[in-house]
Every structure is written in C-alpha cells, then in structure tokens.
Amino acid sequence: MYGGIQITQTGAVDCCITARPNCSLSRSGKILVLASFFLILSVTAGVFAMMGAWPILPFAGLEMLAVLLAFYQVSCHERDYERITIEGNTLVLERRDNVRVMRSEYNRCWAQVVLQCRSVGQQCRVALRSHGAEQELGRHLNDEQRTELAHQLERRLGCQ
C-alpha cells in the first residue's frame, strides 16, 4: 500500500491530503515469519524439556505470545490514515485509528499549522491549531514528510 502523503487537487485552492503508513509486510510474509518463530521456539524448548529442562518452555510460550500480540497490533493499524479535506472555507480532518474513525471540522481562516522540531530538521511534530486546541498530525510520516505536510498545509490555509 502507498505510504506517505498523497495530494489530490480538487479545485484551484481546494484539495485533499491523505497520509498513510507504509505497510510493506504481506499477509503471507506475516504467516511465514510467525511460523518460523513458532517452529524454532517450539523445537528448541521442546528438546530441552525432554532433557528435563522444562522451565525454558514457559519463556518460549510467553515470548511467542508477545510476538503474536505485536503482529496483531500491526494488523490492526494497517488501514489507518489521516485525511485533510479543504473545501471553500472549511477544513475537515478525518483520521482512522484501528476501528475508530474521528472527524473534526475547522474554519479555514482560523486554522494554523504548527511545526516544531527539536533540533533543526529533527524530531518534528506537526499539529493543527484552532481556538487554542491542537490536533497532532502526521503520525504515519517521517520528519521530512511532516515538514512537507506542514509546508503544503500552510500554503493552503488562510481565508481564500
């Protein structure tokens, strides 16, 4: 799936910006990785258990559980996205986080972009600010893409 920011221009000044995470692991890849862990861990822990060293088994089980949980988390967030639609004087921020879909509306004239970087170009945070409240943006993006997102938004905000 395409990751990063995608900009669809819907008019001279109106547009739609979508940010998605990169998900490079395929379904079969996931199964392969999990199966290989399961195989390695069960064989080694099993052989040691047969030699009488059974306390390795519960640790192997716990770890397998942790790996499963991690992969489950990853699958849950595969379809996450953030979408900003700017039309006329409204800006709509729509974000999907696992099963939750959140939507908020802003006035294009009043919304501001905030970009903060801890050191120049590094560890940047982008947020949309209006009425003293902030919504963080670009959680699926890296620093340069966040900077780019802030830049793009900035160009499109303000009263038209």
Secondary-structure breakdown of the chain: helix, strand, coil percentages, each rounded to the nearest 5: 35, 35, 30
What angle is formed at CA 144 by the lines to CA 139 and CA 148, rounded to 5 degrees? 85
- Per CB under 8 A, 55 contacts another protein: yes
* CB of residue 10 to another protein, shortest distance in Å: 19
The amino acid occupying position 29 is: G
Binding of another protein by 34 (CB under 8 A): no
Query: Judged by CB under 8 A, does residue 28 bind another protein?
Result: no
Determine the Cα–Cα distance for residues 66 and 64; give it in Å rounded to an integer. Answer: 5
Of 113, 128, 137, 157, the one binding another protein (CB under 8 A) is: 113
Applying CB under 8 A, among 98, 104, 142, 160 the residue interacting with another protein is 142
Is-contact 81 138, C-beta < 8 A? Answer: no
| 110 makes contact with another protein (CB under 8 A) | no
- Residues paired with 8 in a beta bridge: 16
* Of residues 87 and 115, the one with the C-beta less far from another protein: 115
Strand arrangement of the beta sheet that strand 122-130 belongs to = 112-119, 122-130, 133-137
Please tell me the distance from the alpha carbon of residue 149 to that of residue 20, in angstroms, as a whole number.
12
Residue with Cβ nearer another protein (105 or 144) = 144
Q: Which of 13, 67, 83, 85 binds another protein (CB under 8 A)?
A: 67
Tokens of 137: 């943006």
Q: For another protein, what does the binding mask look like between residues 5 and 24, x meaning CB under 8 A?
A: x---------------xxxx
Chain residues binding another protein by CB under 8 A are 2-5, 21-25, 29, 33, 37, 40-41, 44-45, 48, 51-53, 55-57, 59-60, 62-63, 66-67, 70-71, 73-74, 112-123, 125, 127, 129, 134, 138-148, 150-151, 154
